[in-house]
Amino acid sequence: MVTVCRKLKKLADDDPRRVLHSFKVGIALTIVSTLYYVTPVFKGFGTSTIWAVLTVVLILEFTVGGTLTKGLNRAVATLLAAALGMGAHHIAILAGDKGEVILLGFFIFIVAVIATFLRFMPEIKKRYDYGVMIFMLTFSLVGISSFRDHETFMLAYKRLLTIAIGVAIALVVSVLVLPVWAGEELHMLTGANLEKLANFLEGLGALYFGEKVRVDEMKIKALLQSYKSVLNTKATEDSLANLARWEPPHGRFLFCHPWKQYLKISSISRRFACLVEALSSYISRSESQVATELEKHGNIIEACKEICKESMNAMTVMAASIRAMTKLSGSKQHMAAAKEATNRLKISLLEEGLLLRETLQTCTIVSLLLEIVSCAQEIEAAIEELAQLALFESSDQVNAGSGAREKRVADNDEVHDVVIVVLE
């Protein structure tokens, strides 16, 4: 109980807008409830008022873009489906009482199959998934109810009107009460990711190249870990960029703000994070060893230190420039300094007779290849653990029939390829 409370408090502290959003949902629901309490309104809509309540709960999302996308999807899909559903009803009644059931059932079946299949299309799934589902739902509801209640027109009309009211209430609350914009979230996330990468460079400089910093070792270790989340933000960023396009201009985000460019920056940031991940696997494994090796070469250490520091500064400036929405200034000097240090580093490597530039690249490739092999070994161990946990049979049992053949070629060099073929 105490743990849960502590967790909830942390959730609220991490982002107070979460608490705010919860109250926004409460407010919107209270507003829409009044439709029920005010007798003249209720008399007009009857039990259809329920759709307004449903709509508010279903479409009020954390960001304005989310609410807008869902609201538009819901409203447009309902309109289209109601119109088509009524058309289907009018065609179906021409076929007599029994024919009506069969025709309606057939229409609903066809619409359900087509709509469900369309939802697999990436383009639809990304933006209109909710709309297609609502279309299928409304078409079925209107089609089916028309069989029992021949006042289908009124039903469809009321459903449409109450859903529009629900969408309007959700939108007003979402936009007017301290709005959270998806675009701004994306904007801040892109900046935050750059800062995390800068943190790594700071930690690397401190821990590995002995740059003096004012933080203790625990904090350095944390700096070295924070990049990991950058690797997994693609889905969030794609979705935010998608929602941001629906949002009206607000604050400093004008019409046609280049949201795609954020995705480009994020994509390079992820590649950066991948390189950091590769680098991490080296420094974590051989911390002291390589430090000793490097101690002999003061110039190299100095250059690396400089590279870390200047790149870190440049990344911090970039993050700050995105956050403040100002043109880059300052990062150029830092990047130039980092670039200069890389040149110095290459010369030092040459002078110290360590290696040529080309050899350096060869070594890296060779070295990464070695690392990949050890990664493959880890995968092998994990699969063995899985085979044990999930009681996998040994392949001999599975391939009992082909066992003889396997044995016969066991002395052959190509035995492993045979095993692969058998298993496939």
**Which span sits near a copy of itself by CB under 8 A: 75-83, 167-175, 242-250, 288-296?**
288-296
CA atoms within 13 A on the CB side of 51: 25
CB of 213 to a copy of itself, least distance (A): 13
- Contact between 275 and 371 under an 8 Å Cβ cutoff? The reply is no
Closer residue to a copy of itself, CB minimum distance, 128 or 272: 272
Provide the phi-psi class of 249: left if phi over 0, else alpha when psi is between -120 and 50, else beta: beta
Which 80-109 residues touch a copy of itself, going by CB under 8 A?
101, 104-105, 108-109
Which 158-177 residues touch a copy of itself, going by CB under 8 A?
none
- Residue 253 DSSP symbol: B
Angle at 409 between CA 405 and CA 413, to 5 degrees: 150
CB of 320 to a copy of itself, least distance (A): 4
Closer residue to a copy of itself, CB minimum distance, 69 or 306: 306
Q: State yes or no: residue 117 binds a copy of itself (CB under 8 A).
A: yes
Closer residue to a copy of itself, CB minimum distance, 94 or 420: 420
Among 140, 174, 199, 242, interactor with a copy of itself by CB under 8 A: 140
Q: Would you give the binding string for a copy of itself spanning residues 322-361, x where CB under 8 A is met? A: xxxxxxxxxxxxxx--xx--x--x---x----xx--xxxx
- Contact between 21 and 185 under an 8 Å Cβ cutoff? The reply is no
**Residue 370 CB burial class (10 angstroms; 0-12, 13-18, ≥19):** exposed
- Residue whose structure tokens are 């029994």: 98
**Residue 167 CB burial class (10 angstroms; 0-12, 13-18, ≥19):** buried
**Which span sits near a copy of itself by CB under 8 A: 42-50, 75-83, 161-169, 241-249?**
42-50
Among 67, 78, 199, 313, interactor with a copy of itself by CB under 8 A: 313
DSSP string, 15-58: -THHHHHHHHHHHHHHHHHHHHHSHHHHHHHGGGHHHHHHHHHH
**Which span sits near a copy of itself by CB under 8 A: 76-84, 134-142, 162-170, 242-250?**
134-142
CB of 348 to a copy of itself, least distance (A): 10
Neighbours of 391 (CB within 10 A): 6
Closer residue to a copy of itself, CB minimum distance, 87 or 106: 106
CA R_g for the chain: 31
**Total of residues contacting a copy of itself (CB under 8 A):** 162
Which 209-238 residues touch a copy of itself, going by CB under 8 A?
231-232, 234-235
**Which span sits near a copy of itself by CB under 8 A: 66-74, 77-85, 170-178, 252-260?**
252-260
